[in-house]
Amino acid sequence: MRTKTLLLAAALSAAGLATSLAQSNVYSLNVVGYYNIPLTNNFNYISIQLGPDQTGTNATLTSALGTNWPNFTKVYAYDLQLGLIGQAQVIAGAWTANATVTKRGVVAGGGLVLQPAAGSPTTLTIVGEVLQGHLVNGEAASAVPYLKSSMVPQAGLVKDVLGLNLPTIPGTQNLYRSPAGSFINHVFLAGTWLGGQPNINVGESFFVSGVTNGFTWTRDFTVQ
């Protein structure tokens, strides 16, 4: 079996994924790559879109983020449907454990909020396998927000490129982002993104609120 290696950077366009091989029509079940996320000194909405295997569920904070972080670097994950906010931090060179962070933060399609401590790296590099095939990223009905992300490391318009189709229901739905430390609210009303669709970066997570009936975000994705 061949393995095609992808070099995935945060500046990738919506056109797709860049590959380190010039070959065409090369297919592989195992696609290994990386992407870089520039970090601010504030809260960073990030996502782990590459994993140690094709399940998208076996990553840990150590495998995903590494241990090259100063003490008191913190990450937060949210399971607001259950009223849970999980926090893990670096103590004595190792990440502490938290069940909500593991369940909601380091899985493909979830998200983390990273709060660097003084002396932290200014760029986070995520390494692992690209998920392929029929990908399902769903949420049950809830009146509270979800912290979500694309399951694959691709940038672009949230619907036309990344495939997120929010249900058209009464009221407004909102997508909250914080790229480069600035807070942005995108409003979805009566099936339309006011002001245009959000353009999501590689490795970015975001909050979705107002989707009281739940939603299923599916994609059929293959690297070629």
Per-residue pLDDT of 24-51, as tens digits, reads: 344 446 899 999 999 999 999 999 999 9
* 177-218 pLDDT per residue, tens: 999 888 999 999 999 999 999 999 999 999 999 988 888 999
Taking the C-alpha atoms of residue 107 and residue 111, their distance in angstroms, rounded to an integer, is 8
Same-domain pairing of 67 and 178: no
Number of separate domains in the chain: 2
Q: Which residue has the higher pLDDT, 121 or 224?
A: 121
Domain that holds residue 16: 3-129
Last residue of a domain, one of 96, 129, 162: 129
Q: For residues 9 and 12, give the distance between their C-alpha atoms in angstroms, rounded to a whole number.
A: 6
The Cα 86–Cα 33 span in angstroms is: 28
Alpha-carbon distance 170 to 70, whole Å? 46
Beta partners for 186? Answer: 175
Query: For residue 171, what pLDDT is reported?
Result: 87
Name the pTM for this structure.
0.85
More confident residue, 26 or 145: 145
The verdict on residue 207 lying in a domain is yes
Domain boundary among 70, 103, 129: 129
Of 110, 98, 186, the residue nearest 151 (C-alpha): 110
pLDDT for position 169 = 86
> Is residue 59 located within the same domain as residue 95?
yes
CA-to-CA dists, residue 34 to 7, 21, 52, 180, 207, angstroms = 6, 14, 12, 20, 24
